Amino acid sequence: MGDSGVGSNPYYWDYLRLDDLLGAQRLESARHGRPAHDEMLFIVVHQVYELWFKQILWELDGVLAAMAEPRLDDDRMGQVVRRLQRIVAIQPLLMAQLDVIETMTPLDFLDFRGYLAPASGFQSLQFRLIENKLGISPQRRARIGGMPYTAVLREDHRELLERSAREPNLLSLVEGWLARTPFLRFGSFDFWQVYRRAVEEVLAEERAAIDRNPHLGDDARAEQLARHRAYGESFAVLFDRDAWEARRASGERRLSHDAFLAALLISLYRDAPAFQLPFSLLTALVDIDEGFTAWRQRHALMAFRMIGGRVGTGGTSGHRYLEAAAERHSVFRDLFALSGFLLPTSKLPDLPADVKAQLGFRYQTTTG
């Protein structure tokens, strides 16, 4: 505020730096002498996106800092979860803005599209930083016109991105936090042995149901058995640390065996007091991942509608890239996969009383 001379009495306009903000819309079409009314919308929508990206990075950086500490204090978990949930709350706005862009018809877009090339959303440094900080797999990144995603960026931005790709990210930090959980071994109680027996029982029941089903023809029965075998094999991998880690090495899985087991445990017993916030955290990660995937898909549809399969201002087919990114840029796919390993609560082993007590609040165990 100092520079506005208002001293200790902030004025709304100065506080929000509206001279800078509202002076930042310069129409390329006007610079070329053919002002196109709708270019203002194009600029404003993209600027709003960048403001939200800045906010998302702000929350993400706060979360990464908290998760990078050797021990995440219980008191800070609430804050971490709230910040992730705020990102989830921002995502519907990113989506809804596409509806506003679509009030611009392709014909209106054409009035200034030519002036923008090669500028394009591919060059959004902040969105790429978000992807890297979430922990997108560098191997799986979609290429842009056959080139690495950084090729379209300015040198200094490229360096920022390359650095961010080397730093700890949300996936790696969550992985470490899960793997460190003290609950994978509970003294004498071997949870995984109990869980495994329950799984075997469930598998046997399903197998019997297929065998017994009088309505199935031979082909249908064979197909159901094949699926049942595949289901059984997914558990076999879960119970075999080496098999799991081999899949992780191949890129099929991204969480370590320990981390995945911890996430599964949390999902199975989410109502134990000590697991409630961790479960909210895992849920928020899935929400964020789903939100960005859905946004990329809708964005691809919008791009297709706007330029009809032609090459975008970034020199490549925007909607094809976005479709590929929607499929390949998911970060927390392993957490989506958790639901394939859950058991009905009726089959779920009860935790022993001493384990339950450990997962409860201290005031309860002393008063209870």
Task: List the x/- string, 111-150, binding to a copy of itself by CB under 8 A.
Answer: x--xxxxxxxxxxxxx------------------x-----
Q: Which of residues 9-48 bind a copy of itself (CB under 8 A)?
A: 9-18, 20-26, 28, 31, 34, 37, 40-41, 43-44, 46-48
Q: Which of residues 339-368 bind a copy of itself (CB under 8 A)?
A: 339-346, 357-367
- Give backbone dihedrals phi and psi of 308, rounded to 5 degrees, phi first: 55, 40
Structural contact between residues 49 and 97, judged by C-beta atoms closer than 8 angstroms:
yes
The angle that helices 273-307 and 106-116 make with each other, rounded to 10 degrees, is 90
Q: Which of residues 153-182 bind a copy of itself (CB under 8 A)?
A: 154, 157, 182
Length of the chain: 368
As measured in angstroms, the least distance from the Cβ of 24 to a copy of itself is 4
As measured in angstroms, the least distance from the Cβ of 290 to a copy of itself is 5
Q: Which of residues 304-333 bind a copy of itself (CB under 8 A)?
A: 304-311, 315, 326
CA distance linking residue 87 with residue 364, whole number of Å: 34
- Please list the alpha-helical segments (H only) found in 102-154: 106-116, 125-134
- For residue 110 the two structure tokens come to 């054409």
# residues near a copy of itself by CB under 8 A? 132
Residue 262 CB: number of other CB atoms within 10 A?
A: 23
As measured in angstroms, the least distance from the Cβ of 242 to a copy of itself is 22
With contacts defined by CB under 8 A, name the span among 101-109, 187-195, 242-250, 251-259 that binds a copy of itself. Answer: 101-109
As measured in angstroms, the least distance from the Cβ of 339 to a copy of itself is 3
Q: Which of residues 241-260 bind a copy of itself (CB under 8 A)?
A: none
CA distance linking residue 272 with residue 270, whole number of Å: 6
With contacts defined by CB under 8 A, name the span among 128-136, 161-169, 242-250, 268-276 that binds a copy of itself. Answer: 268-276
As measured in angstroms, the least distance from the Cβ of 211 to a copy of itself is 16
Using DSSP, state whether 144 is helix, strand or coil. strand
| CA-wise closest residue to 67 among 164, 163, 176 | 176
Q: Is 189 in the site for a copy of itself (CB under 8 A)?
A: no
| CA-wise closest residue to 123 among 75, 76, 156 | 156
Q: Is 188 in the site for a copy of itself (CB under 8 A)?
A: no
Q: Is 197 in the site for a copy of itself (CB under 8 A)?
A: no
Distances (CA, A) of 34 to 28, 111, 119: 9, 8, 19
As measured in angstroms, the least distance from the Cβ of 170 to a copy of itself is 17
List of residues 6+ apart from 315 with CB closer than 8 A: 117, 118, 120, 145, 152
Q: Is 58 in the site for a copy of itself (CB under 8 A)?
A: yes
